[in-house]
Structure 1
């Protein structure tokens, strides 16, 4: 059966009578984290060889054998499969017909919605199927707060907003950054904006964002300097720049559409999740005012075309990116003159 987002944490922390949990989706780090949570709910010591069996792709044929094995020291067992796919369906079906309380946990990143394993598990009440996708906005804010709270560490709202804006799509990478921050703050500590900026150290990411914000606001000098710094000094890839640009353009368009619908500029920005970092609100607001929703859609399409061009073998990707940044600046300056 499918496990909805509201029930996910409760299911992982207390699997109850479930015989199998299938974790699928795009966020491999979140899949691994949730698999670990479910396994520890059954056996807190994951190093216990009598109660925990971890099976890689080459060991999938041992699923039935491990499912029916007895825990010599007592307690419920865990059989944890990694890189699971349709090839394990038959073994899972046979295992579920056996008398056993073993919990089967399957990591299945990229499992398609029409896969035979997923279709079967979503219909079987002995199975819990949980999607693991990159978190954003309020969900990501809550996740970071929860991680820090577990270490008895607090964080200021502006510091949290800054971190959410820069968090990547992988939960494992986010947790690594949070653990670094928790170690810096110490138990009972509190993190401010400067603490987070000093610890996370995302210089390349900041340069990319500087380029995106400056370009869309029509600041040619700032955009050129930030883009060149990101691509030639900080080591960012042209693809990374195109994706930061595209993300920024999409956020501008959402805010612009809200403003076209009657919201004030400030209210339109406040509706965005994550919120616009307070030191960038002026630049974001300027871009919202000068770009129309249709112009932003066209800019997004051109940026997507740029990403495809950068992926062509032998393409002068850095030159293409710098030229695109200059073109966006020119368009912003032209539209600003019309206002």
Structure 2
């Protein structure tokens, strides 16, 4: 079964008798948001290890039966179970396609719901065709918000806190966020915190102007963030560490660095999933000069299992930051160090 792009927002949560979901598209932030919303509708506590199993490409390469085993496992304490799989390429999704085919044929059982997250997939690709052709599975495309959709998201989120954009701020802010739902969410939250929550602001201070956008939006610190990410993904651990701590001293948020890292990994993933350099540039990848050369080198280093491992490490760091398991500054620094060391090994 399949949903149209316009049906995904509500269609995923209304789906019935579905064993597996494939959520895919070029906007990885939107894919992740849709997958998280769906997952929470199935298992409210996604940190429950008895109810949620997360698999990576490396897991499936090490043990081809890992997906089938996870799907067949019974809950130790009763209740629903969920299996999540994030893939970076069409070929990496082959085990999920094989599982659906065998499940439909009656040779495999399922005691859990499967959610697969992927980038852009070609219509003729096996993963997408298998999910679309199955009565027990559902494929849901996630394409970038239109300017109108993005404007609605921003204005609705701000209005919930009694805030609104001036026309000048609207013109500057909205275009800078097109093509990345996770970036949009992050920047909206940053604006709200900058202005203050409802009840925390002075009377009448409910308008966000162009000066507010310039003070805290994504555009102001791009060069600084790119320097950190380029060093980490390029295998320059000492440079990455020094740039990271300079940024922290200047007031840059560790969460902002993490978001920048996730965007860069998504841009690299776009190159490998078929979108090419042009597709990555639509997501904000550098176009010219040394920055573009560095990005090309990063694409050569980070591919397949290595790219998926980096994405998973960033995902786990984000989860840890949200749950306060350690100082966010330390979590961010540890992640950058691990990625830089991995890049050094990949460079050979």
* TM-score bucket (shorter structure): 0.5 to 0.7
- 1:118 maps to which residue? 128
| 1-structure distance, mates of 2:109, 2:99 | 14
Distance 1:311 1:152 in 2: 38
Please say if residues 85 and 111 of structure 1, whose CA atoms lie closer than 8 Å, have aligned partners that are also in contact: no
Query: Which one of 206, 214, 226 corresponds to residue 197 of structure 1?
Result: 214
Where 2:9 maps in the other structure, the secondary structure is helix
Question: SS at the partner of 1:85?
Answer: helix
Q: Is the 8 A contact 1:79 1:104 kept in 2?
A: yes
Match of 1:78 among 74, 78, 82: 82
Residues 67 and 204 from structure 1, CA distance in 2 versus in 1: closer, same or farther, beyond 3 angstroms? closer
RMSD between aligned alpha carbons?
3.0
- Residue 64 of structure 2 is aligned to residue 48 of structure 1: no
Question: Would the aligned equivalents of 1:25 and 1:31 in 2 still touch at CA under 8 Å?
Answer: yes
Whole-Å separation in 2 of the counterparts to 1:46 and 1:183: 26
Alignment of structure 1 residues 221-300 onto 2, 5 Å: none
Which of the numbers 49, 58, 69 marks the counterpart of 2:73? 69
Q: Any idea what the Cα deviations from partners look like across 1:220-275, whole Å, max 9, x if unmatched?
A: xxxxxxxxxxxxxxxxxxxxxxxxxxxxxxxxxxxxxxxxxxxxxxxxxxxxxxxx
* Equivalences for residues 1-339 of structure 1 within 5 A: 1-60=1-60, 61=64, 62-83=66-87, 84-96=92-104, 97=106, 98-100=108-110, 102-148=112-158, 152-156=161-165, 158=167, 159-188=169-198, 190-193=206-209, 194-200=211-217, 202-203=219-220
Count of residue pairs brought into register by the alignment: 212
- Asked if the contact 1:14/1:41 (under 8 Å) is kept, the reply is no
Matches of 2:221 and 2:189, distance apart in 1: 21
| Separation (CA, whole Å) in 2 of partners of 1:90 and 1:18 | 17
Distance in 2 of aligned mates of 1:15 and 1:186: 38
Once the 2 structures are TM-superposed, how far is the Cα of residue 110 of structure 1 from its aligned partner?
2.8
TM-score of the superposition, structure 1-length normalised?
0.55
Assess, with a 3 A threshold, how the Cα gap between structure 1 residues 196 and 131 changes in structure 2: closer, same or farther: same
- Rate the CA distance shift 1:145–1:16 in 2: closer, same or farther, 3 A: farther
Deviation at 1:29, TM superposition (A): 1.5
Checking the alignment, whether the CA contact within 8 Å between 2:54 and 2:83 is kept in structure 1 is yes
| Structure 1 gap ranges (5+) | 206-306, 314-339
**Who is 1:264 aligned against?**
none
Q: Secondary structure at the match of 1:104?
A: strand
Where structure 2 has 5 or more consecutive residues not aligned to the other structure, the ranges are 223-286, 294-348
1:85–1:146 CA distance, 2 compared to 1 (3 A): farther
User: How far apart in 2 are the matches of 1:30 and 1:312?
Assistant: 25
Going from structure 1 to structure 2, the CA distance change for 1:126 and 1:157 (only over 3 Å counts) comes to farther
Question: Cα gap change, 1:185/1:18 in structure 2, threshold over 3 Å: closer, same or farther?
Answer: farther
Distance in 2 between residues matched to 1:308 and 1:93, nearest whole Å: 44
Measure, in 1, the Cα distance between the counterparts of 2:172 and 2:80. 43
Aligned to 1:223: none
